Amino acid sequence: MESLRFSTLVSAGFILCLIGALSWVSVVAEQEVENLSGLSPNPDKDIFVVRENGTTCLMAEFAVKFVIPYDVIALNGIDLITEQAALSLPRGAQIAGTCGSSEAELHVSWSNNAYTFRLYFSKEKRTVRRDGKTKESEVWKISKVQLVYDTSETTHFINAYNPGKHTASTHHLSALVTPAGHSYMCIAQQTLTLISSDHQKGITVSMSEVQIQPFDIKSDFVFSESYKCITDQRERLEETLPLVLGLILGFIIVITITIYHFHLKMTAQQPQLPCDRSLYKHM
């Protein structure tokens, strides 16, 4: 009986050790992250990398700014007025992340965890109809954006009323939809509005110079082929269209002048020979 009890205890201990080891491996995998923002020539741009099993599974580059409204007591000591705190994501922030086949996350914290910015990614299949045929394609997107902030942090929140931590999140988000196997790139600024737990205030998140890929990275520290946002494509078209139109107009002008000179040459009045031969001596 004692032998059986000892065997049971050993088995239970082994299982607990195994669970602990697996949990430790999972934590290590989640913490295998790198902040490479120092490599960016733009001081406002951050570069984050999440790696699992020695390979890159998520990469993100972006410049992000936040505008956060908060309450302060008015000068009369009775009323509340709303101020705005404007801040950017600083270099040297702490990051964490997870990767998966269909879901991934990136968490960025700074100022002693007074702020935490979270991006949630998901991959899904969508049905697309092209050329009269229905095809199934795989895409990834940002499914949720969240910001946790503490109004007791006095660097940006000055004399905040009832200071404390609040959480602002998006709802039913489907942003940066990108074909699977590609990175998303957008130089132009994009703005999201998050709804805060602080009396439903609207938090503005502005992201620019974005390149993100949370799935299917083929080479270590290298983005896959980029899928450019519509705004960048439109701006590029607006930049090149005047040049193309100018070249076409110049070509039309050259052709018109050439035809005009050719016409003048062909229709120029030819000198007529006199009918009276006696007039030849005067020629």
pLDDT for residue 272: 56
Angle value at C-alpha 191, between 158 and 127, nearest 5 degrees: 145
* Residue range 10-66, pLDDT digits in tens: 444 544 444 444 444 344 444 489 888 888 888 888 999 999 888 899 999 999 999
Phi, psi of 8 (to 5 degrees): -65, -40
Boundaries of every domain in the chain: 30-224, 229-259
Between 238 and 66, the more confident residue is: 66
- Are 187 and 232 within 8 A, CB to CB? yes
CATH level 3 topology of 30-224:
Porin (2.40.160)
- Let me know how long the chain is: 283
Strand stretches in 4-112, DSSP E: 33-35, 46-52, 55-73, 80-88, 94-98, 103-110
Residue 63's closest CA among 175, 183, 209?
209
What pairs with residue 129 in β-bridges? 134
Q: Are 203 and 168 in contact (CB under 8 A)?
A: yes
2-12 mean pLDDT: 44
- Alpha carbon distance 51, 198 (integer Å): 35
pLDDT at 195 > cutoff 90:
yes
Residue 147 CB neighbour total at 10 angstroms? 22
